[in-house]
Amino acid sequence: MTTALLGSKFLYACLYIALFACVCGTIFRMARWFFITTGPVAGAPSPVRRGLAVLKGAASLLSLKIFGFLHALLVGIPFQTGILRTGFSRWAMHICIFWGFILLLLMHALDELVTKKIFSDYFSTLDPYQFLRNLFGVMVLAGVCMAVYRRIRHRGPMLETRRADRFAIALLSVIIITGFAMESAKMISESVFNRMMNDFFAGESAGDEEALKAYWSEEYGTSFRTRHYTVNPTLLARGRAVNEQSCASCHSPARSAFVSRPLAKLMRPSAARLEEAGADNILYYIHVLACLLGLAMLPFTKFFHVISDPIAILVSSITDKKNTGRFAALPRRAMELDACTSCGTCSRHCSVEPVYRMMGNRHILPMEKLRDVRALSAKKEVPEDIRSISEGAFICTSCFRCTEVCPAGINLQDQWNASRELLSEKGHPSPHEWIKDFRASEWSDLMLKHESSWKEIDTIKGKYYNLTDDSDVFAPCIQCQTCTNVCPVVAARTDPEEAVDITPQKIMNLLRLGLNNLAMGSRMVWDCTTCYQCQEHCPQGIRVTEIIYELKNRAYDHFKNIDRTLRQADVHEDGEKSRQTEERK
Quick: pLDDT tens for 458-497.
544 444 456 666 777 778 888 888 888 888 888 776 664 5
Q: What is the mean pLDDT of residues 320-336?
A: 80
Chain centroid to Cα 360, Å, comes to: 22
- Domain layout of the chain by residue ranges: 33-59+320-429, 437-584
**Between residues 244 and 142, which one has the greater pLDDT?**
142
526 Cβ neighbours under 8 A, 6+ residues apart: 431, 432, 435, 436, 552
Q: Compute φ and ψ for 35, nearest 5 degrees.
A: -120, -30
In which band, very low, low, confident or very high, does the pLDDT at 49 lie, cut at 50, 70 and 90? confident
Q: What is the mean pLDDT of residues 416-434?
A: 75
Distance in angstroms (rounded) separating the CA atoms of residues 501 and 125: 80
- What is the 3-state composition of the chain as percent helix, strand, coil, each rounded to the nearest 5? 70, 0, 30
Q: What pLDDT, on a 0 to 100 scale, did the predictor assign at position 36?
A: 85
Chain centroid to Cα 401, Å, comes to: 17
Residue at 21: amino acid letter: A
**Between residues 133 and 159, which one has the greater pLDDT?**
133
Per DSSP, 475 falls in state: T
Q: What is the mean pLDDT of residues 230-247?
A: 82
User: Which among 130, 79, 139 has a CA at the least distance from the CA of 107?
Assistant: 130
Distance in angstroms (rounded) separating the CA atoms of residues 228 and 289: 39
Quick: pLDDT tens for 15-38.
899 999 999 999 999 999 998 888
Q: What pLDDT, on a 0 to 100 scale, did the predictor assign at position 228?
A: 65
Res. 132: pLDDT tops 90? yes
Res. 9: pLDDT tops 70? yes
Res. 453: pLDDT tops 50? no
Residues 53, 333 contacting (CB under 8 angstroms): no
In our burial notation (b when 16+ CB lie closer than 10 A, e otherwise), range 286-315 reads bbbbbbbbbbbbbbebbbbbebbbbbbbbb
Least confident of 42-51, 87-96, 236-245, 318-327: 318-327
In which band, very low, low, confident or very high, does the pLDDT at 439 lie, cut at 50, 70 and 90? low
Please give the CATH number for the structural domain made up of 33-59+320-429. 1.10.1060.10
Distance in angstroms (rounded) separating the CA atoms of residues 164 and 320: 32
In which band, very low, low, confident or very high, does the pLDDT at 454 lie, cut at 50, 70 and 90? very low
User: Which among 46, 82, 41, 158 has a CA at the least distance from the CA of 407?
Assistant: 82
Quick: pLDDT tens for 360-380.
778 888 888 888 888 877 765
Distance in angstroms (rounded) separating the CA atoms of residues 410 and 398: 15
Res. 562: pLDDT tops 70? no
Q: What pLDDT, on a 0 to 100 scale, did the predictor assign at position 130?
A: 92
Q: What is the mean pLDDT of residues 504-517?
A: 82
Distance in angstroms (rounded) separating the CA atoms of residues 447 and 558: 8
User: Which among 528, 344, 325, 526 has a CA at the least distance from the CA of 439?
Assistant: 526
User: Which among 504, 495, 575 has a CA at the least distance from the CA of 533?
Assistant: 504
Res. 568: pLDDT tops 80? no
14 Cβ neighbours under 8 A, 6+ residues apart: 288, 289, 292
Distances (CA, A) of 165 to 148, 371, 563: 10, 15, 40
Q: What pLDDT, on a 0 to 100 scale, did the predictor assign at position 532?
A: 84
Tell me, yes or no, if the two domains 33-59+320-429 and 437-584 fold the same way: yes
What mean pLDDT value characterizes the chain? Answer: 80
Share of the chain above pLDDT 90, in %: 20
User: Which among 427, 399, 419, 392 has a CA at the least distance from the CA of 337?
Assistant: 419
Q: What pLDDT, on a 0 to 100 scale, did the predictor assign at position 461?
A: 45
Res. 441: pLDDT tops 70? no
What CATH fold (topology level) applies to the domain 437-584?
Fumarate Reductase Iron-sulfur Protein; Chain B, domain 2 (1.10.1060)
Res. 92: pLDDT tops 90? yes
Quick: pLDDT tens for 168-218.
889 999 999 999 999 999 988 888 888 888 777 665 566 778 888 888 888
Taking each helix axis from N to C terminus, what angle separates 47-58 and 326-339, rounded to the nearest 10 degrees? 90
Q: What pLDDT, on a 0 to 100 scale, did the predictor assign at position 4?
A: 47
Quick: pLDDT tens for 517-561.
778 777 788 778 778 888 888 988 888 888 887 787 777 777 666
**What single string gives the DSSP state of each residue in 89-151?**
HHHHHHHHHHHHHHHHIIIIITTTTTHHHH-TT--TTSTTHHHHHHHHHHHHHHHHHHHHHHH
